[in-house]
Amino acid sequence: MTRLLLPSLMVLLVTLPAAAQRRVITHEDVFTMTRTADPRPSPDGRWIVFSLTEPDYDPAKTLNDLWIVPTDGGTPPRRLTSSRAAESGVEWAPDSRRIAFATRREGDDVEQIYLLPVDGGEARRLTTLPTGASNPKWRRDGRAILFESMLKANRPAPEKSSARVFETLPIRFWNVWNDGSRPHLFVQTLDGGAAVDWLAGTALAASPDFDAPYVGSGADRSLQAQWSPDGQEIVFAAIVNRTTMMTEETESHLFRIRNAGAEPVRMTKTGESFVRPRFSPDGTVLVAQSSRSPSGTALYSVTRLVRVA
């Protein structure tokens, strides 16, 4: 009898600790669970950069950094950044040796574009615009970066007043007031010099109907700009009837611009909205997402992938 009980007691002693650890999942378990997002593969297919968030009930203690992992899984993921402010808009350089992203680091009042070598080293700030910078895009020769910045109209600010003056709609987007800022496209070369505003002085940017399409679920806007394959033009999406939003469906259209200050050329037709332009890897095809404006009894339009001539 003793011989039969001994093995049973040994099994019981081994299994009790694991059973004792079982418990009901709590809100804290779910809320503080580590999350990964926005994976970006390198052009040579060897690496993936992704963001990793470690949430905390105290927002000041939440961590959001960039990590890198080889696509073959040969080595564990490695942390690339370690800062309080999160990075966004990660974009690989054509040589797969550097990445560009937007973030706000020590000494920055607003987000700026930074460059970081993935094989080691510190991030280098590329831009210094007082209006900030976001959504970097490398030119295919690796010598310049396209990015966006929100500029406000040159209107005198009321003295000792918090009042807002609106002459046209929209005045707010959900819980965010319209501050009068408009998106502009800048190009910064990597060999120094000041960033150049490609939309400065254009009739499109000066129009009260001009704006960038909203992206995501918040009030963020982006022109979603892309370099042409030869690096000579920029293609972007823009709203063209912003002030008529209460009487008709707003539409976003694709434009191309060849030089700084040149008037952008519209590429798409009225009656549909176009967003997220992308060139094929070989550069021969431009595609975008398209949806028709509601008409008659139609309440919405299914988004389609279209080829833009």
pTM: 0.85
Whether the pLDDT of residue 16 is over 90: the answer is: no
| Higher pLDDT pick, 94 / 247 | 94
Is the bond into 208 cis (omega within 30 degrees of 0)? no
Q: Residues 228, 302: one domain?
A: yes
Rounded Cα–Cα distance for residues 146 and 184 (Å): 11
How much is the average pLDDT of 206-232? 89
Q: Residues 94, 179: one domain?
A: no
Closest CA to 147 of 117, 111, 122, 94: 111
Q: Residues 45, 186: one domain?
A: no
How much is the average pLDDT of 234-238? 98
Residue 206 three-state SS? helix
Q: Which of 107, 125, 143 is the last residue of a domain?
A: 125
Q: Residues 229, 268: one domain?
A: yes
Closest CA to 186 of 214, 165, 205, 171: 205
- Whether 65 is in a domain gets the answer yes
For residue 268, the 8-state DSSP code is: S
Looking at residue 296, its pLDDT comes to: 55
- Whether 20 is in a domain gets the answer no
- Whether 98 is in a domain gets the answer yes
Q: Which of 73, 107, 125 is the last residue of a domain?
A: 125
Domain that holds residue 257: 135-153+169-309
Q: How confident is the model at residue 12 (pLDDT cuts 50, 70, 90)?
A: very low
- Whether 43 is in a domain gets the answer yes
Percent of the chain at pLDDT > 90 equals 64
- Whether 16 is in a domain gets the answer no
In this structure, of 30-34, 217-221, 267-271, the range with the lowest mean pLDDT score is: 217-221
Taking CA atoms, 208 is separated from 59, 135, 180, 253, in Å, by 37, 23, 10, 16
Q: Residues 140, 267: one domain?
A: yes
Q: What is the separation of C-alpha 113 from the centre of its chain, rounded to a whole number of angstroms? A: 12
- Whether 22 is in a domain gets the answer no
Whether the pLDDT of residue 163 is over 60: the answer is: yes
Q: Quick check: 181 and 132 in contact, CB under 8 A?
A: no
- Whether 265 is in a domain gets the answer yes
Question: Can you give the CATH number for the domain in which 279 is found?
Answer: 2.40.128
Cβ-Cβ contacts under 8 Å for 83 (sequence gap 6 or more): 65, 103, 105
Q: Quick check: 68 and 116 in contact, CB under 8 A?
A: no
Q: How many domains does the chain have?
A: 2
Looking at residue 5, its pLDDT comes to: 38
Q: Residues 105, 145: one domain?
A: no
Whether the pLDDT of residue 168 is over 60: the answer is: yes
- Whether 120 is in a domain gets the answer yes
Q: Residues 307, 213: one domain?
A: yes
Q: Residues 192, 217: one domain?
A: yes
Whether the pLDDT of residue 297 is over 70: the answer is: no
Cβ-Cβ contacts under 8 Å for 22 (sequence gap 6 or more): none
What's the pLDDT tens digit per position in 51-108? 999 999 998 899 899 999 999 999 999 999 998 889 999 999 999 999 999 999 988 9
Q: What's the mean pLDDT when you consider all of the chain?
A: 87
Q: Residues 68, 139: one domain?
A: no
Q: Residues 113, 219: one domain?
A: no
Q: Residues 33, 174: one domain?
A: no
Q: Residues 145, 235: one domain?
A: yes
The angle subtended at Cα 36 by Cα 31 and Cα 37, nearest 5°, is 115
Coarse DSSP helix, strand, coil percentages of the chain, rounded to the nearest 5 percent: 10, 35, 55
